[in-house]
Amino acid sequence: MADLQLQLDPSLGRRVALETALRDAIRSGRLQTDAPLPSSRMLAADLGVSRSTVVAAYGQLTAEGFLVALHGSATRVASIHVPEVAASQPHPFWHTPLYDFRPGEPATDAFPRRAWLGSVRRVLTEAPDEVFGYADPRGRVELRTSLAGHLGRTRGVMAHPDAVTVVSGFASALGFLADVFVRRSGRVAIEDPMLFLHRQILELAGLEVVPVPVDDAGIVVDALDGLDVDAVLVTPAHQHPLGTTLSADRRNRLVAWARSTDTWIIEDDYDGEFRYDRKPIGALQGLAPDRVVYAGTASKAISPGLRLGWLIVPDGLRRDLRRSIHIKAGASTIDQLALADFIESGALDRHLRTMRSTYRDRRAVVVDRLSDEVAWLEVIDHPAGLHITARILDPAIDEQALVANAAGCDVGIIGLAVCHADEAHPTHRGILIGFARPPQHRFAAAVDALIKVLVDNGPRGSREQIRT
């Protein structure tokens, strides 16, 4: 076999270029199983390289299994099976509409780049070398200490740094908790509706989820009576997705239920920092630190790109969680130390103050436009968090078709049906509008596009006419 067409990449050394060209020719099927290769002398002459280069390349590919060298005969192509790589399609969720109001993301154009850079710079300048090694899976003590102080001050959370575990966002925290409960009764109660992703995380871990209704005062605690569950997952500060705040009466009754049934409350405090009409309401954990597993995240307050969150675990559960944490936990030490610095330097408080004011203004713009121009929607008026929930008043409007039509106009919104345990029979009808997500320079155009799509997809007329 004298004639072998090979293109050697001039940016690589000759031997590496020859190996790469031969590997590619075999993988692509251009050189087929059993095909004999030219002698090293012949190929060296053809390519204008030294014979030792060819001998070395053949030797390397023989060692890797691409070639077979039999004594006394030509080197041949080995039989290899190259599986086809199926093109991977991103989940439809990752398609970003131009006017993106899907809830869940903060204003990424407002990431505090300069302050964060300052924190990272200080960490890299001052940190001892051991920081770049493996670390305590519970998280760096500097961050656990900062978080205990910060959450005590801003969320009324009662925590010792030893009770804090740093995780990669709430999603990972829930996975660790699921590991524990799956070894007990295997049943966890959830609010219905709730974030579908969290239901999926619990189910993926093998848990049975038991939906519990939510009304204007938050989770219906009476509906928990008689349920044989290990824990209940709640969003007391700002129910996801309805937006309600768990009432004081329900808080007390939920804690009493958990104590009397020896059940754990998992508090997902994902956006508790954002309240616009008054000071944020303290975390439920402050009322019952012995019964509530508190979970917070940097995803709304700063950025989901950091993948940082924290769990504060009561003594009674910490031993059981330890195994999972020690095997699976761990977040970037550099980012953990940067967050500790960010908190201690006051940058987090400043950022939250700025963002509260930005979000208050953005929310007001959307709520005013909806009230003035879309009579068939009714905003559930809880001035908190990063999304607005609006009920569909007109029974003739198909929520799913509305969301699909909006997507067709490059406007991203989400319907309430997908948040229900039984999507086909939702108890609440409406849409979620994440007002934090569109970038500032496109915000006005995005609101115009949103209002237009809503007006075009519903009836004209006053609220009273539509209700009747």
What are the residues binding ligand PLP (CB under 6 A)? Answer: 104, 169-171, 195, 235, 240, 268, 270, 297, 299, 304, 309
User: Rounded CA gap, 433 and 440, in Å?
Assistant: 16
Nearer to ligand PLP, 19 or 191 (CB): 191
b/e sequence 240-257, b meaning 16+ C-beta within 10 Å: bbbbbbbeeebbeebbeb
Burial class (CB in 10 A: 0-12, 13-18, 19+), 261: middle
- For the CB of residue 188, give the shortest distance to ligand PLP in the complex, in Å: 15
The residue (of 15 and 198) whose beta carbon lies closer to ligand PLP is: 198
Nearer to ligand PLP, 14 or 138 (CB): 138
Which of 343, 397 has the CB closer to ligand PLP?
A: 343
Q: Which candidate, 105, 101, 41, places its Cα nearest to that of 75?
A: 41
Nearest alpha-carbon partner for 320 in 178, 162, 212: 178
CB of 299 vs ligand PLP, minimal distance in Å? 3
Asked if 288 contacts 265 with a C-beta cutoff of 8 angstroms, the reply is: yes
- Taking every pair of C-alpha atoms in the chain, what is the biggest distance, in angstroms? 94
- Which is nearer to ligand PLP, 268 or 399 (by Cβ)? 268
Smallest distance, Å, CB 81 to ligand PLP? Answer: 39
| Least distance CB 409 / ligand PLP (angstroms) | 24
Sign of torsion over alpha carbons 337, 298, 197, 436: negative
Question: Rounded to the nearest whole angstrom, what is the least distance from the CB of residue 173 to ligand PLP in the complex?
Answer: 8
Smallest gap from Cβ 369 to ligand PLP, in A, equals: 24
Q: Are 412 and 101 in contact (CB under 8 A)?
A: yes
- The answer to whether the CB of 101 falls within 8 A of the CB of 454 is no
- 289 DSSP assignment: T
Placement of tokens 């299994």 in the chain: 65
Nearer of residues 195 and 313 to ligand PLP, judged by Cβ: 195
Alpha helices in 329-414 (DSSP H): 333-344, 347-373, 399-408
Nearest residue (beta carbon) to ligand PLP: 169
Nearer to ligand PLP, 296 or 426 (CB): 296
Cβ 95 to ligand PLP, closest distance in Å?
A: 17
